[in-house]
Amino acid sequence: MTIKKGNLISFSGGNQGQWIVRSMKTLSGNAIEPVSRIEITKESQLPADAKWTFNAFISNLRYTTRKEKTELDQGSKPLGIESNNYAALIPIKKSDEWWKMTQDERRKIFEEDSRHIALSLDYLPFISRQLHHCRDLGEHFDFLTWFEFSSAHEDKFDALVQMLRETKEWDYVIGEIDIRLHRS
Amino acid sequence: MTIKKGNLISFSGGNQGQWIVRSMKTLSGNAIEPVSRIEITKESQLPADAKWTFNAFISNLRYTTRKEKTELDQGSKPLGIESNNYAALIPIKKSDEWWKMTQDERRKIFEEDSRHIALSLDYLPFISRQLHHCRDLGEHFDFLTWFEFSSAHEDKFDALVQMLRETKEWDYVIGEIDIRLHRS
């Protein structure tokens, strides 16, 4: 059963691709096979040597309010800025407990308790980002989070992910692998 | 590019399948090819004669609050009740304007303005239902809504869909086909 290719984006780990792996760190859940490069593709043609491939799609906003979106948009920079020579791919899996919650319960933990959006705002000028969804595809991970930033600002990225990992939202994260990359 | 089959459900229109088409009515958007039966499958093996196939997945709740879910669960009946000899498949497509809205804006129209959940509550004892999502798969429609009920209660189903079609939420519906079926 195939789905239309245009909507999917694939991250393939192997020994080819535009992003060179600097480090892979399993923070929770099972590790994945180490690779030297990651290829990102919207084509059905995956690299022949891939050790793993994660498929995902970009979707509509699930929690963000209009006020928050306005603030986020003001600070956000697009992907693909040449001086952002570093990137991070962080696949995330949340627990069944998270997914059984209703929208209001998840929103409360996400923002009112954990301030996911509020904490991120200060970092937008330095860190470009894109969320990809994959739980509904039956993938192991629920999200593939993607960030691009300059090597000069990796300390800021470290500070951001460290803050998020200490929030209540992260009590529901049962799989997380922090893959750091640089542009080839 | 294939996705894991277990998560997908396919609705194929043709001349085979467990559901016999009684009528097909295009309420907005383009019509689809008339068919005599619909096959619902979770397998990759689709009926060879299918004139069209819609793929979708069941997902987590997107708008429902805990209070609403408790009320909904109390009244809901499962699919597959033998005396529910009638069904309806209603594919729905919403406008770009809808999808560009933030979560709070869509929720307000869905429930505070349109009372989608509140209006539906009275009908739960008579109408079993399942929502399937497909926008993120790049399908033409955004949702495949599925309902099962007894032929004795089709007037109640007509009343429910008529009420919903008069709500503000339906101002954003740009494709809708009402396919009525009976169990073979």
The verdict on A10 touching B (C-beta cutoff 8 Å) is yes
Place of tokens 């006020």: A67
Per-residue tokens: A60? 């509509």
Q: ∠ CA(B53), CA(B81), CA(B182), 5° rounding?
A: 50
Query: What DSSP designation does A152 have?
Result: G
The verdict on B173 touching A (C-beta cutoff 8 Å) is no
pLDDT range class, residue B44, cuts 50, 70, 90: low
Contact criterion met (CB < 8 Å) for A105 and B5: no
> Tens digit of pLDDT for each residue in A128-147?
999 999 999 999 999 999 99
pLDDT range class, residue B49, cuts 50, 70, 90: confident
pTM, full prediction: 0.93
Contact criterion met (CB < 8 Å) for A136 and B133: yes
Contact criterion met (CB < 8 Å) for A8 and B138: yes
> Tens digit of pLDDT for each residue in B75-110?
999 999 999 999 999 999 999 999 999 999 999 999
Q: Which residues of B touch A138 (CB under 8 A)?
A: 3-8
The average pLDDT across A10-33 equals: 97
Contact criterion met (CB < 8 Å) for B57 and A7: no
Bridge partner list, A175: A93
The verdict on A108 touching B (C-beta cutoff 8 Å) is no
Q: Which residues of B touch A109 (CB under 8 A)?
A: none
Residue A153, min C-alpha distance to chain B (Å): 30
Which residues 58-87 on chain A approach chain B with CB closer than 8 angstroms?
Answer: 59-66, 68-69
The verdict on B6 touching A (C-beta cutoff 8 Å) is yes
User: What is the C-alpha separation between A135 and A141, in angstroms, rounded?
Assistant: 6
Q: Which residues of B touch A99 (CB under 8 A)?
A: 60
Contact criterion met (CB < 8 Å) for B3 and A6: no
Contact of B13 with B35, CB cutoff 8 Å: yes
The average pLDDT across B21-45 equals: 93
C-alpha dist (Å) from residue B15 to A15, B32, B65, B94: 48, 15, 41, 29
Considering only the beta carbons, identify the residue of A59, A107, A137 that sits closest to B7.
A137
Instruction: Tally the residues of chain B.
Output: 184
Contact criterion met (CB < 8 Å) for A137 and B3: yes
> Tens digit of pLDDT for each residue in A151-176?
999 999 999 999 999 999 999 999 99
pLDDT range class, residue A49, cuts 50, 70, 90: confident
Beta-carbon neighbour count of residue A25 at 10 Å? 11
Task: Give the chain A residue whose CA is nearest to the CA of B59.
Answer: A136
Per-residue tokens: B175? 């494709």
Which residues 136-165 on chain B approach chain A with CB closer than 8 angstroms?
Answer: 136-139
